[in-house]
Amino acid sequence: MSSPASSPPPRLISDELWALVEPLIPARRPAVHGRTGRPRTSDRDVLEGIAFVLSTGIGWTKLPTELGYGSGWTCWRRMREWSAAGVFDQLHRAVLDQLGEHGALDWSRASLDSVSVRAKRGVH
């Protein structure tokens, strides 16, 4: 009797969210000729790994490679690159824009403080 084939884990990043994220990810640097090693993990799989680590609270080095997200170090490195490139800030704005277009935001409950927006000194 054979064991059932394991199915991939459910997607953490929906197709709709991926459609917003994908164009924001910076173009990949050209590969160095003659370089060998593992094939590059897809950006979507890496984003899934980032979401998994951040939602579960496990350490980057504890990310199980069996899940197909790549290594924890790969996910951490790309998260750092994408953060420096402003991907997550742009994504935040894109999600808010889309929610606003669909009337899914209630701005009457929004607030700002000096942690969110820098207060200028001496301005009245």
4: helix, strand or coil = coil
In this prediction, residue 10 carries a pLDDT of 73
Q: Which amino acid is at 113?
A: D
pLDDT digits (tens, 9 = 90+) for 99-115: 989 988 887 887 777 67
pLDDT digits (tens, 9 = 90+) for 41-60: 999 999 999 999 999 999 99
- Tell me what the mean pLDDT of segment 79-102 comes to: 94
Q: How far apart are CA 38 and CA 10, in angstroms?
A: 24
pLDDT digits (tens, 9 = 90+) for 7-35: 666 789 999 999 999 999 999 877 666 66
In this prediction, residue 45 carries a pLDDT of 95
Residues 6+ positions from 105 with CB-CB distance below 8 Å: 96, 99
In this prediction, residue 24 carries a pLDDT of 96
Q: How far apart are CA 47 and CA 50, in angstroms?
A: 5
The residue among 70 and 110 whose pLDDT is bigger is 70
Decide: pTM greater than 0.85.
no
In this prediction, residue 7 carries a pLDDT of 67
Residues 6+ positions from 53 with CB-CB distance below 8 Å: 59, 60, 63, 72, 75, 76
In this prediction, residue 5 carries a pLDDT of 59
